Amino acid sequence: MDPRALRKLWRHRGAMVGAALVLFVLALGAFGPYLAPHPPAQQFRGELLVDGLPVGPFEVEGFPLGADPLGRDLLSRLLHGARLSLSIALLATFIATVIGVSVGLISGYAGGFVDGLAMRFVDLILSLPFLLIAIVIQKSLDGAGIFFISVLLGVLSWTGLARITRAKTLQARSLEYVEAARALGYGELRILLRHVLPNIVGPALAIGTLMVANMILAESALSFLGFGLAPPAASWGSMLSESQSLMEWQPTLTLFPALLISATVFGFNLLGEGLRDAFDARL
Amino acid sequence: MRKAASRVGEARSRWGGALILVALFALGAFFISRIPAEPAFPRYVGAGDPTPRAGGTFEWTVGSAVRTLDPHIAYDTLSFQAVRLVFDGLLDYDDEGNLIPSLARELPEPLDDGRSFRFRLREDVYFHDGTHLDAEVVSFSFHEMLSRSKGSPGYGFFKVLKGAEAYHQGEAERVEGIVVEDRFTIRFDLEERNLTFLNAIALPFAYPVSPKNIERFRGDRAGLARNPVGTGPFVFDDWERGVKLTFKRNAHYFEKNRPNPDTMVMWENVDGTTAARRFRNGDIDILSGAPKVHLLFFQNSPAWKPYLFLEPSVTLFGLAMNCEIPPLDNVHVRRAIAAAIDRQAISDFMLGLVRPTGQPIPPQLKGYDPELPTAQRYDPERAREELRIAGYPNGLPEPIEVWIGEGEGSRNLAQLWQSDLAEVGIPIRLKQVAFSAYLVETAKEKTVPMFVSGWMMDFPDPSNFLDVLFSSKSIHPVHSENRSFYRNAELDDLLDRARGEIDPEKRASLYRAANEIVARDAPWAFLYNAVDFVVVQPYVKGYRHHPVWANEYRGVWLDLPRRAASEKDFDVHSRDEVRTDGVDGGDAR
C-alpha cells in the first residue's frame, strides 16, 4: 500500500474521528454480549412492565436504560444488538467486496465481450430498487438467519465496487510494469493478482468502509419493516421497529438504538471518506 | 502570501458552514414551533340542545379500503359499515343484540315446527330509485344472491332453504322454498328445522336490492359494486376510490323525521395514528381502532373520558393448531401449548384492550361458562406434565413454525407467548405473513402447522363459532373454514342436535357441552376476546356501540351548531394539562 496515502490518512482529522468511533463500535460488538447484564430475550414482566408499559431509564435498579416494550432489558438488547448488526454489516460487506473486486478485475482485464456482459449486468442490478428486491427475495426464500440476511445484502450491493475496480484495472493494465510483466511471459492470473490487484486494495478499502455504513442502514431498514432477523433476535433495526408505537410515550426506546445506528454510520462514513481521499478512489 | 490567503479562505468557509448550520437549525425550530399542538381537551363542543335533529356532516376514518357496496358480495367489516347505511334488512338487531323487525312488520312466527317462516312486509318502503318494495322484489333479491353466477360468500347461510342447492346448481328455475304469498307477504320454507335462519335473514347478504339497478349493471360486477341502490336511511352519493365515500340523508325514508346528519363521509386508508391525530384536531367525528398507546391519552384526559367507549366485542382470538400435522396431532402437545401461555400478561400488555379467555364461546353468548371445568388456563407445570405424557420430557426437539400477522403489533404480541412457550420447552419460529397469503394457505390441509387466528361473529349465536370453526362439516381440502382440521364425532352430533333445538334452555346446555369438549381437545389455544376502543366528539349524539355491527352509525345525530370548546366546558382539575394554543374560534371545515 502506498505509504504516502497512509500519511495522508493520518493527517485527515475527520478520518481519525471516524476511526475512533469505528473502534468504539467494534469493541461494543466484540465485548458487548459479555458485558450485558441480562439475557437479551428474557422478559421481566413483573419488574419492568408497569400497567403493561415499559419502565424508563434509571427507574429500576439493575436496568440502567429501562425496558423495551416487552419488558426486556434495553441495555442488554443494545449490547447484543451491536454484535448482530455489525456481524451482518461486516459479513455482507465482505461478500460484496469479494464479488465486486472479482467481477471488476475480470471485466477490466478481459475487456471485450466479457466486459460488456459484466457491465450490463451491473447496470441491471443498479436499476433494481434495492429494498424492494431485498424484501421480495427475503419473502420468497423465507430466510431470517444472520447468514441469509448478510448474503442477501451482499449480493445486492457489489456493483459500485465492481465499477471502480474495473476502472482501476483498466488504468493498471496499461502501466509499464504490467506491460513488462506481460512481456516476460508471466501467466494472466499471476499478473492479475501480483501486479494489478495491489492497485485496487486502497480504493476497495475506502469503498468497503463506506459500504459498512450502508449495510448497517440497510439491515436496520429491513428489520424495521419486519423483514430482518426472526424474533426474538435483537438487532438495532428490529429494536426500532418494536418500539415504534411507544415512540412518543417513551422516546428513549427509539433514541438509544437510533443513536448507535447514527454513530456507527457516521464513524464508518468519516473513515471511509478519509480513505477515499487518501487513495483517490473516486468513481 | 498564497498560504495566508488560503488560510483566510479556509476560515471563511468554516465560519460560513457554521452559519448555514445555525440558520438551518433556527429555521427548523421555527417551523416546529409553528406546528399547532393538539389540545388536551376536545376542540369543539355542541350547542347543548338535547332535542335530536337532522343536519350537518358526520365524518369518520377506516384503516383500509372498502371492497364493495354490493350487499350480496360484501363480507368484511368495512364493507358492512358502508352497506348498512344504504340498505335495510327484513330483520335487524337492537342495541342489546336482539332480533327486531325492520322492513318486516313484525318478527315472523315459526310455522311447521320451525321449518318455515312467514314475513309480512311494510307497505311504505321505496328504494332510492323509486321502486316500491314488495314480496316480488324480496324474492328477486334472494334469487339474485343465491345464483351461481353471483358467487355470494353468503350462499352457505341459505343452503338450508328448500331447493336452494338445485337452483344454485342451475337444475331449477326458482328456489322452491321462497314463496310469494301475496303482494306484501313472503314465506321461506326450510329443508330442516333451523333456528339460526332468522339470523341469516338479518345478514347483509339478505338485504333487498333494487331490481332496476341490478338489471342496469347486469354483467358489470365492478359497476354494481360502486353503485348501490337500497332502501336505507342514506343515499349513496360518491366514491372517490381509495379516498372517501359520501352518503346523503334519505329524505324519503320510511321512518319519517329521522335525526340524521345530512352528509356522511367515510375516509378510507387512514392508519390509526393519523386517525387519532385528526380526531384530536377535531377533523373527524369518531375515532375507532386506534393503536393502544392512544388509549392512554384519552383515558388520562378528564375532558375526553366521558366520550370514551370500551366495549367488549363478540370475538375470539387464539393460536390455531393444525391437528393433522405432527406433533400437533397429539392432544397432549396441544394442551401443553394451551397451558403454557400467560393470558393475563397479554391483557396487561394490551392495556386491557383484550380480555383473557380459555374457551371457544365468547362471554356474551349462550353456552359460555365462567366455571367451565375444561377451560384452558395458564399453568406451566401442567404444560410440562402434558409434554411428558406426550413423550417429550425434555421439550420438543424441533421448533414449530407459527404464522403471525404483519406489523409491529403482531410481532410484539407474538414474542410475548413465544417466550412463555420456550419456558416450558416448546420452541417456535415466528413467520410474519401478509393477510391475503394467510387466508389462502391456512385454509389448505396439512399446510400451516400453527397460526394466530381470530373470529368475528356474523350473528350472535354460539353456532356461528362452534359450527364454523370446529365442526368436521366445515373441513374442506382447500377452502376449509375449520382451519385447525379438528374432527370429533361427539362434537358434530351435539352441534347437529343444538341447531334444531327449539327449547332455549336445552339449546344452551347443548352448546355448553360442546364448548367443554372443544376447550378440552384444544384445537386452538384460546387466548382472548377483544375490546373495542371508540371515542366520539362531544357534539356527536346517539352513538351506541352495537353488539353485532360494532361501528354502527345509522343512529347518530349532531348537536349543531358546534363551537370551539374552552377550558370552562370541562371540569378539568389539573390546569397543567390544558393548553390553549391551537384552539381557534371558527369551524375548521
pLDDT of residue A137: 87
Question: In chain A, what are the domain boundaries?
Answer: 3-278
pLDDT of residue B292: 83
pLDDT of residue B10: 53
Residues of A in contact with B407 (CB under 8 A): 226
- A interface mutation test: which of B271, B297, B344, B349 has the most A CBs within 10 A? B349
Residues contacting B516, CB < 8 A, separation 6+: B359, B369, B372, B373, B374
pLDDT of residue A282: 54
B542's grid cell: 346517539
Of A52, A70, A230, the CB nearest to B429: A230
**Interface contact A142-B431, CB threshold 8 A:** yes
Q: Is ipTM > 0.90 here?
A: no
Mean pLDDT value across chain B: 89
Q: pLDDT grade, residue B576 (50/70/90)?
A: very low
Q: How far is CA B291 from CA A62, B73, B272, B277, B357, in A?
A: 31, 29, 6, 12, 22
The answer to whether the beta carbons of residues B214 and B224 sit under 8 Å apart is yes
Residue of chain A minimizing CA distance to B420: A43
Residue A225 near chain B (CB below 8 Å): no
Q: Give per-residue pLDDT as tens, A70-88.
A: 999 999 999 999 999 999 9
Residues contacting A97, CB < 8 A, separation 6+: A158, A161, A204, A207, A208, A211
Residue of chain B minimizing CA distance to A232: B415
Residue B63 has pLDDT above 90, yes or no: no
| Cα-only R_g, chain A | 22
Options 1.10.3720.10, 1.10.3980.10, 2.40.110.10, 3.40.50.2000; CATH for A3-278 is 1.10.3720.10
**Interface contact A230-B431, CB threshold 8 A:** yes
Q: pLDDT grade, residue B588 (50/70/90)?
A: very low
Alpha carbon of B350: minimum distance to chain A alpha carbons (Å): 7
Domain with residue B465: its CATH number is 3.10.105.10
Of B296, B345, B351, the CB nearest to A45: B345
3-state secondary structure B126-168: ECCCCCECCHHHHHHHHHHHHCCCCCCCCHHHHCCECCHHHHH
Mean pLDDT value across chain A: 89
Q: pLDDT grade, residue B31 (50/70/90)?
A: confident
- B interface mutation test: which of A245, A247, A250 has the most B CBs within 10 A? A245
Kindly provide the residue ranges of all beta strands, DSSP E only, lying in B365-505, ordered along the sequence.
Answer: 400-404, 428-432, 450-456
Displacement of CA B309 from its chain's centroid (Å): 16
B483 shares a domain with B558:
no
Lowest mean pLDDT among B87-91, B191-195, B340-344, B485-489: B191-195
Residue of chain B minimizing CA distance to A69: B412
Q: Give per-residue pLDDT as tens, A8-62.
A: 888 888 889 999 999 999 999 999 999 999 999 999 998 898 888 899 999 998 8
B358 shares a domain with B408:
yes
Residues of A in contact with B429 (CB under 8 A): 230
B304 shares a domain with B448:
no
- B interface mutation test: which of A13, A44, A45, A240 has the most B CBs within 10 A? A45
Of B345, B407, B415, the CB nearest to A231: B415
Residues of A in contact with B406 (CB under 8 A): 226
- A interface mutation test: which of B293, B343, B429, B431 has the most A CBs within 10 A? B293
A230's grid cell: 426472526
3-state secondary structure of A168: helix
Residues contacting B29, CB < 8 A, separation 6+: none
Task: Write the DSSP symbol of residue B185.
Answer: E
Residues contacting B205, CB < 8 A, separation 6+: B71, B72, B75, B145, B152, B153, B154, B157, B158
Of B296, B352, B411, the CB nearest to A231: B411
Mark which of B483, B508, B531 sits at the end of a domain: B531
B400's grid cell: 414449530
Interfacial A residues in 11-30 facing B (CB < 8 Å): none
Mean pLDDT over B293-309 rounds to: 89
Whose cell is 495522508? That residue is: A8
Tell me the pairing of strands B524-536 and B315-321: antiparallel
B273 shares a domain with B389:
no
pLDDT of residue A27: 95
B382 shares a domain with B449:
yes
Tell me the DSSP string of B65-115: ------TTT--SHHHHHHHHHH---SEEE-TTS-EEESSBSSPPPEEGGGT
3-state secondary structure of A127: helix
- A interface mutation test: which of B271, B348, B406, B428 has the most A CBs within 10 A? B348
Judge whether B579 lies within some domain: no
Please report the number of interchain residue pairs, chain A to chain B, with beta-carbon separation below 8 angstroms: 58
Domain with residue B173: its CATH number is 3.90.76.10
**Interface contact B408-A244, CB threshold 8 A:** yes
pLDDT of residue B415: 94
**Interface contact B349-A52, CB threshold 8 A:** yes
Instruction: Tell whether omega for the bond before A232 is within 30 degrees of 0, i.e. cis.
Output: yes
Residue of chain B minimizing CA distance to A242: B408
Residue A49 near chain B (CB below 8 Å): yes
B307 shares a domain with B175:
no
CB atoms near residue B410 (< 10 Å) = 17
**Interface contact B430-A226, CB threshold 8 A:** no
Residue of chain A minimizing CA distance to B272: A245
Q: Could you give the number of structural domains in chain B?
A: 3
Judge whether B80 lies within some domain: yes
Tell me the pairing of strands B400-404 and B450-456: parallel
Residues of B in contact with A245 (CB under 8 A): 273, 291-293, 408-409
B480 shares a domain with B514:
yes
Residues of A in contact with B435 (CB under 8 A): none
This prediction has a pTM of: 0.82
User: Of B130, B159, B295, B343, which Cα lies nearest the Cα of B229?
Assistant: B130
B213's grid cell: 339497478
Task: Write the DSSP symbol of residue B321.
Answer: E
Residues of B in contact with A230 (CB under 8 A): 429-431
More confident of the two residues B530 and A198:
B530
pLDDT of residue B1: 40
The answer to whether the beta carbons of residues B414 and B525 sit under 8 Å apart is no
Residues of A in contact with B293 (CB under 8 A): 245-246, 248-249
Residue A140 near chain B (CB below 8 Å): no
What's the CA gap between B154 and B551, in Å, rounded? Answer: 21
Q: How far is CA B4 from CA B10, B16, B558, in A?
A: 10, 18, 76
pLDDT of residue B62: 92
The answer to whether the beta carbons of residues B205 and B157 sit under 8 Å apart is yes
B337 shares a domain with B275:
no
Instruction: Report residue A61: phi and psi, to 5°.
Output: -65, 140
pLDDT of residue B571: 60
Residue A230 near chain B (CB below 8 Å): yes
Instruction: Report residue B431: phi and psi, to 5°.
Output: -130, 120
Judge whether B34 lies within some domain: no
Residues of A in contact with B348 (CB under 8 A): 45, 49, 51-52
Mark which of B185, B220, B255 sits at the end of a domain: B220
Residues contacting B483, CB < 8 A, separation 6+: B320, B322, B442, B443, B451, B453, B469
What's the CA gap between B559 and B569, in Å, rounded? Answer: 15
Residues of A in contact with B418 (CB under 8 A): 231-232
Whose cell is 352497506? That residue is: B83
Domain span at B244: 44-56+231-312+534-569
Mean pLDDT over B514-533 rounds to: 96
User: Which helix (H) or strand (E) segment is B495 a member of?
Assistant: helix B489-500
Residue B229 has pLDDT above 90, yes or no: yes
pLDDT of residue B587: 34
Of B349, B419, B431, the CB nearest to A41: B419
B269 shares a domain with B136:
no
Q: How far is CA A35 from CA A27, A31, A62, A78, A80, in A?
A: 11, 6, 13, 11, 9
B513 shares a domain with B394:
yes
Of A51, A144, A245, the CB nearest to B291: A245
Of B351, B406, B414, the CB nearest to A231: B414
Of A43, A226, A245, the CB nearest to B419: A43
Judge whether B409 lies within some domain: yes
Judge whether B188 lies within some domain: yes
pLDDT of residue A3: 75
Residue B294 has pLDDT above 60, yes or no: yes
B269 shares a domain with B171:
no
B246 shares a domain with B134:
no
Residue of chain A minimizing CA distance to B412: A242
